[in-house]
Structure 1
Amino acid sequence: MENRTIIYSLRYGSAAVAIIAIVAASAFAIALALIIYAVVRQSISPTRGAYLIVLIALFALSFTLFLENLLRGGRLDVESNWGGLGGGLSGWRVSGPLAFLFLSIGLFALLVAAISNDPPHPDLWERYRGALNFAAQNGIKFEKREVVGGKLLLKGTAPSQAVEDAFWTQVKLANPLYDDIVPDLSIKAPAGAPGAAGVVK
């Protein structure tokens, strides 16, 4: 009866470890895909993306090993060995599960610090709300409006050069450097109005 109980416990532990490993691998795959997507979109640098991937991989591995050791009968304890009066070796001994738990906590702290230290990006839609409202009220039509790599990309047409110049004035009021916006406008006069279409720099 005792042997059957031991075999059952080992099988149960192996199944639990397998499930944990699958969950950890799935979570790592999702995180990896999100980071690669952010790098491709230029939301984060490739170096920062690689650093986050390494941290997530090490954390997933360490936490999986912690749970595996714990399910296989490991204990969370610390033993102190005193060498005695004879001058024998003394020191501290940390159990395997506890060592992996400490390692997981340290890696998780590094991961949280890496994510929280990411510099916040300004809300470009809010920053250029005045310019966008001006565009809507003065006949500027955008075919594409999206934020890529921390920059607001605009592509469309303006009814006249004067309107396009006034739009640029609104942009510079919001950000004199206008280093986070890339308007690509062409002049397209309304039907029946004089003037030809042309590309505006």
Structure 2
Amino acid sequence: MLKVVESKNESQQQYTTEELSAKLGIAAATLRKYNFYFGKEGITFKKERGKIVYSNDDMALFKKLMALHQRSGTTLQECIGELAQQIQPVTKLSQAQTELPQSVVEDPQPVAEHPQQELTLTPQLTELQNNVKQLETSFAKEMSEQKNYMYQQLENQQEQVKQLKSYITTKLEQRDKQMMDTIRQIQELKEEQKKGFWYWLRSLFTSKK
């Protein structure tokens, strides 16, 4: 559930990152990327026991984002920025009224005369900054793991190519050696046959004498 968007139905079903990504038909890493860019726009999602949980409202928001991204042809960040502009002007006032003390909400006096309003916003700003840092760290870790995996795959392929080249070279050398041995044996056999023929011919003339 969006922290800057109050849900109309507090009892609606909640989903983990894996459950929601499965319902949306996308990878969990893609959903985390959406979350990361929403965080940069000042929109975060509800956390319980250190893990993010999503509501049906959040699912509808992500579906709207996917449709907009596919339809508009603009970048993902631009689509999220457009949605954020639609959400924040309406929801920031509702959030402020919900979080401020009742005396401040009912009192029409200027905000400057109620310094406690600023104090209530500071923990939220800190939490938002922490969430953004966590998302950046998670995203950087995933990118690093994918990069290491690609490097490992490349090294494995290079090693396989090297082994294949060595195998082919060895086989070619063996073939060449066998061919040379066969040619040498044929030449030796021909020489033996020539010697035998001349020996027989010479013995024939010698016997006639």
TM-score in same-fold range (> 0.5): no
TM-score scaled by structure 2? 0.23
Report which of the two has the higher share of helix. 2
Higher strand share: 1
Q: Which has the higher contact order (CA 8 A, sep 6+)?
A: 2
Q: What TM-score do you get using the length of structure 1 for normalisation?
A: 0.24
Work out which of the two has the higher radius of gyration on C-alpha atoms and give 1 or 2. Answer: 2
